[in-house]
């Protein structure tokens, strides 16, 4: 059977996973009466909760006697490492662009990677049924984007379809019948080349996706680059330098049929397969027949730009909620993450029982922390820091920069420009985008965006949309002002009392409610002033014949400010930590003892002087 391998790439929320749903339905993969969840490819709990794709996944459909292997990729720049690996497995790509939003930063990122690989993309302008759709303008934007990214004449001559993934149709013109996705299937068959690989050479493939299965162990997915794979055949695993990692057998050989993985005896060249039976192999190593001595080339992945410190939970309530609380368990879990996620890097921290975890952005590391929390781990997380480097030619210190594309109502554009300027952002472009909105483009240091998203939503009354993408390293932009308000810090252990909180709420914004457990050094709120303030949240009213306990009913408290995990991580300062357990997310000072805090503060002041 003939094969076509394609990836669906696009900016976040432009409809990739929804389109794959329709491709599966219309190819006959599902029975007419079969119940299938919406966004069937997003099988991970976090993906379903957040409505985003985090992990690249493979599926397969048949059309006119040809098997089409489709890989659904993430849209967030933080998960760009997934996209880069996937492009090594495919011969074509469907670039999905929202008919209203147009080409956004992540579209530029993934398309640039695809064009550099020599792929000739198919462009699908999706969501043309939106009221604010502007398909012709978006077509021009995409052409300009391809030209700016250095596309050759063949790549610039891209075929284009108009589509609605939700309604399940694609057509060559806006006036077409809008029946189904036949036009997209046919275009894939005619435009995407079949794999042109050596069928006679010994078997070899590059591992591009790795996952764990409770029954099979390590499952590695990749494309057969040469030869044929057979069940139980002997193989060895090679690093890029030719070093042999391990030898073994392919105890399980799986191919993709719809959403299922089907066990087979043999697989030909060019097909995308999953193999099991190896205990050491990881991404992007080569799995090959014993006679192969050189590893296959693999795409280099862009380096991490952000790092956080993952520490043991040494707070007073450490070990009460989680089952995995030792530094050894944390280290083993982080090392296992790096094996399947090449965009993450783990090193030992100078602090005791702590590890430096570097990744692409706050979202990627936030997803890792949330996943570990649900697995029963307890952690304390330090403030995110950007990874700088020294330019070898000039000796200058350089830091990662990003392009931020912001769509806001015109009324809020002034405050956004002001806030971005304070964070060392430089405005590159400002243009109306229709409907009373304006599109702002900024070039800004990555550290300037740490913790800004929540403030941005507040400033724009929740109506602003900000998209960001890493563009490279540039000279250090100078100091950026941090949080202006200090913290309200507990000076006692116990349970917070309504009487005490009612008097304390005038000092700032509280993060806790009556009855919550608190401890010395825990952050209970944000001070209304710039300095930290120690408070007693467990102070109770002294009862007499005149002062009765019942009068507490009149003490109405303002509802506390609750933060999500990502918001908490973005909120803290350098001397603060986020305590993460399966049952709670708390803020605390790095040093819980007030005397130790003062000593550390004096030391940092003297170091700065």
Residues at the binding site for GTP are: 13-18, 126-129
Element (H, E) at 156: helix 153-156
State whether residue 379 is helix, strand or coil. strand
Q: Which residues are annotated as a binding site?
A: 13-18, 126-129
Do the beta carbons of residue 66 and residue 2 sit within 8 Å? Answer: yes
Q: CB atoms < 10 A from the CB of 554, how many?
A: 7
d(CA 82, CA 238): 21
DSSP-derived secondary structure for 456-478: HHHHTTT--EEEEEEEEEEE---
**Pseudo-torsion of CA 344, 349, 355, 361, nearest 10°?**
-40
d(CA 179, CA 163): 10
Beta strands in 173-291 (DSSP E): 204-206, 209-213, 217-226, 229-230, 234-238, 244-249, 252-257, 260-263, 266-267, 272-276, 286-288
Question: CB burial class (10 A; 0-12, 13-18, 19+) of residue 339?
Answer: middle
Do the beta carbons of residue 87 and residue 119 sit within 8 Å? Answer: yes
d(CA 364, CA 344): 9
CB-based contacts of 532: which residues, under 8 Å, 6+ apart? 486, 487, 488, 489
Of 219, 230, 221, nearest to 268 by C-alpha is 230
The b/e string for 454-486 (b: 16+ C-beta within 10 A; e otherwise) is: eebeebbeeebbbbbbbbebeeebeeeeeeeeb
d(CA 447, CA 267): 47
d(CA 136, CA 143): 11
- Computed from CA positions of residues 448, 453, 459, 460, in that sequence, does the dihedral angle turn out positive or negative? positive
d(CA 52, CA 282): 25
The three-state (H, E, C) secondary structure of 304-360, written as one string = CCEEEEEECCCCCCCCCCCCECCHHHHHHHHHHHHHHCCCCEEEECCCCCEEEEEEC
Element (H, E) at 487: strand 487-490
How are beta strands 217-226 and 209-213 bridged, if at all?
A: antiparallel
The backbone torsions φ and ψ at residue 227, rounded to the nearest 5 degrees and listed phi first, read 70, -165
């Amino acid at each position: 059977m003939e094969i076509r391998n394609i990836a669906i790439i696009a900016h976040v929320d432009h409809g990739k996973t929804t389109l794959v749903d329709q491709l599966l339905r219309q190819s006959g993969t599902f029975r007419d009466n079969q119940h299938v969840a919406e966004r069937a490819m997003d099988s991970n709990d976090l993906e379903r909760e957040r409505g985003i794709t985090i992990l690249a996944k493979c599926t397969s459909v048949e059309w006119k006697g040809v098997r089409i292997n489709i890989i659904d990729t993430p849209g967030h720049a933080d998960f760009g490492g997934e996209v880069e690996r996937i492009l090594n497995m495919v011969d074509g790509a469907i670039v999905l662009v929202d008919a209203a939003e147009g080409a956004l930063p992540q579209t530029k990122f993934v398309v640039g990677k695809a064009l550099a690989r020599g792929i000739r993309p198919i462009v699908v302008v999706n969501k043309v049924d939106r009221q604010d759709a502007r398909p012709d303008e978006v077509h021009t934007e995409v052409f300009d984007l391809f030209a700016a990214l250095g596309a050759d004449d063949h790549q610039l001559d891209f075929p284009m379809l108009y589509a609605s993934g939700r309604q399940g149709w694609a057509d060559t013109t806006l006036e077409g019948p809008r029946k189904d996705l036949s036009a997209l299937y046919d275009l894939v068959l005619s435009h995407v080349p079949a794999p042109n690989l050596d069928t006679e050479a010994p078997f070899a493939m590059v591992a591009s996706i790795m996952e764990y299965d409770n029954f099979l162990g390590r499952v590695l997915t990749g494309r057969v680059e040469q030869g044929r794979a057979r069940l139980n055949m002997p193989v060895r695993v090679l690093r890029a330098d030719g070093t042999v990692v391990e030898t073994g057998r392919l105890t399980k050989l799986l191919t993709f049929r719809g959403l299922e993985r089907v066990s087979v005896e043999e697989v030909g060249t060019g097909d995308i397969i999953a193999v099991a039976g190896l205990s050491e192999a990881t991404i992007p190593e080569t799995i090959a027949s014993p006679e192969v001595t050189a590893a296959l080339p693999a795409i280099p992945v862009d380096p991490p730009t952000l790092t956080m410190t993952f520490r043991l939970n040494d707070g007073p309530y450490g070990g009460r909620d989680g089952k995995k609380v030792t530094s050894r368990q944390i280290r083993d879990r982080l090392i296992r993450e790096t094996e399947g996620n090449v965009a993450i890097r783990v090193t030992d921290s100078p602090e005791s029982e702590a590890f430096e975890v570097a990744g692409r952005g706050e979202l990627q590391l936030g997803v890792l922390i949330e996943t570990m929390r649900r697995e029963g781990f307890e952690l304390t997380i330090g403030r995110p820091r950007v990874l700088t480097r020294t330019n070898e030619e000039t000796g200058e210190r350089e830091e990662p920069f990003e392009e931020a594309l912001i769509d806001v109502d015109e009324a809020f554009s002034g405050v956004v420009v002001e806030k971005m300027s304070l964070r060392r952002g430089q405005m590159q472009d400002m243009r109306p985008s229709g409907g009373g909105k304006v599109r702002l483009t900024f070039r800004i240091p990555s550290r300037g965006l740490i913790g800004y998203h929540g403030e941005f939503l507040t400033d724009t009354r929740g109506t602003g949309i900000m998209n960001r993408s890493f563009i490279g390293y540039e000279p250090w932009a100078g100091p950026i002002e941090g949080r202006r308000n200090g913290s309200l810090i507990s000076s006692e252990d116990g349970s917070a009392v309504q009487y005490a909180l009612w008097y304390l709420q005038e000092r700032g914004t509280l993060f806790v409610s009556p009855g919550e457990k608190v401890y010395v050094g825990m952050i209970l709120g944000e001070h209304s002033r710039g300095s930290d303030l120690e408070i007693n949240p467990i102070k109770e009213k002294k009862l007499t014949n005149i002062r009765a306990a019942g009068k507490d009913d009149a003490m109405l408290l303002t509802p506390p400010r609750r933060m999500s995990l990502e918001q908490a991580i973005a909120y803290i300062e350098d001397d603060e930590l986020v305590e993460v357990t399966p049952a709670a997310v708390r803020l605390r000072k790095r040093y819980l003892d007030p005397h130790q805090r003062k000593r550390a503060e004096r030391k940092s002041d003297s170091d700065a002087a």
